Structure 1
Amino acid sequence: MSDYKQLASRLRAALATDGVEVSHSRALELVAAQHGYRDWNTLVAAPDAAGHAVVVPILRVFPGGEATRFYRDFLGFTIDWEHRFEPGLPLYLQVSRAGCVLHLSEHHGDAAPGSALRIEVDDVDALQRQVRDSDVYPLRIGLDRQPWGDDLQIPDPFGNRLIFHTPRRSE
């Protein structure tokens, strides 16, 4: 998926040199259309090269800027797109980081706070250092080291738990 995001970034840059400004979300939609999908969500949900469908969990968040502060500013996710049916209505957005795609919803019926997600990452130690060194939240979270891998459990401000996991590789 990061290849598609890079394509969208290059498309935006190329269009900008011609004086055509498009938003990042519009560029993502254009890339999806170029690959034969009706929209970005359909492209993201399409099976990967191995034929596996992509699962995109929905997490409940509350109105205000805290979701952006936590997921973008603290954890380093990218906001791919945002949607509101009209001003003043709940926000629904997609964030992603290194192959992990999440939907965050302010809509009451979409999900219940208190969910837990297990997200595989290449280097949970590096993520722990990033979190520890961040000025956004004063969280000093330890790693849980097990024979099968290392976990970094991070609570979000909405009662959800993100468990970042690096499996132990057999030598």
Structure 2
Amino acid sequence: MDAKTLARRLRGDLAAAGIEISHSLALELVAHQQGAKDWNTLAAAGGAARVAAGPSVPVLRVMSMEVALPFYVGFLGFTLDWEHMFDVGMPVYAQVSWASATIHLSEHYGDGSPNGVAWIPVADVKELHRRLNAQEDRPIRPGIDADAPGGPTLTVTDPYGNILRFAETL
């Protein structure tokens, strides 16, 4: 949705709540929400045509966090950022991150099926390969595909068949 449409919606919603603002103020507020200094800056950056969005985050289906987290955090070196459960005994939804990569792991049945794929750019795939294979209790022994289409790629499969492709872009 473009920024002008967001400004019209904002103005309409505020009017419905009894707060009247000008269209130009609504544009300025939308620009600030998008991290721009003002409307002119957002418009010059293309914000008039589309609103900036963050990076996409893959959601990978796992059956048990008790199995998935030791793999992602212990073996791969991701950090557990947070976990969420609506109530005791309900499925868990968690976020793990590593460098600039963020992945959501979900036990929820409706959040897909195992065998998903996430492509993760890395600065040094050989160093990652060395680090993973240096672990004594490693659950797998991944190799590097030097001729992969996205650059040298280390492919790792988690306990639920989800594939993580760590690629060093050339």
The reply to whether TM is greater than 0.5 is yes
What range describes the TM-score normalised by the shorter chain of this pair? 0.5 to 0.7
**Equivalent-residue separation in structure 1 for 2:133 and 2:97 (angstroms):** 21
* Structure showing greater Rg: 2
Q: Which amino acid aligns with 1:82?
A: E
**Equivalent-residue separation in structure 1 for 2:80 and 2:150 (angstroms):** 32
Correspondence 1:28-67 to 2 at 5 A:
51=52, 53-67=54-68
Structure 2 counterpart of 1:151:
153
SS at match of 2:120: strand
The structural deviation recorded for 1:133 is 1.1
Structure 2 counterpart of 1:164:
166
User: 1:35-78 deviations in whole A, cap 9, x for unaligned?
Assistant: x8xxxxxxxxxxxxxx5521011000112511111000000000
Identity in percent? 44
Unaligned runs of 5+ in 1: 1-35, 37-50
**Equivalent-residue separation in structure 1 for 2:83 and 2:73 (angstroms):** 13
The structural deviation recorded for 1:148 is 5.5
Q: TM-score, normalised by structure 1?
A: 0.65
Structure 1 counterpart of 2:84:
83
Q: TM-score, normalised by structure 2?
A: 0.66
Q: Cα RMSD over matched residues?
A: 1.9
SS at match of 2:146: strand
Report the more deviating stretch, 114-123 or 143-152: 143-152
Structure 1 counterpart of 2:128:
127
The structural deviation recorded for 1:104 is 0.2
Unaligned runs of 5+ in 2: 1-32, 34-51
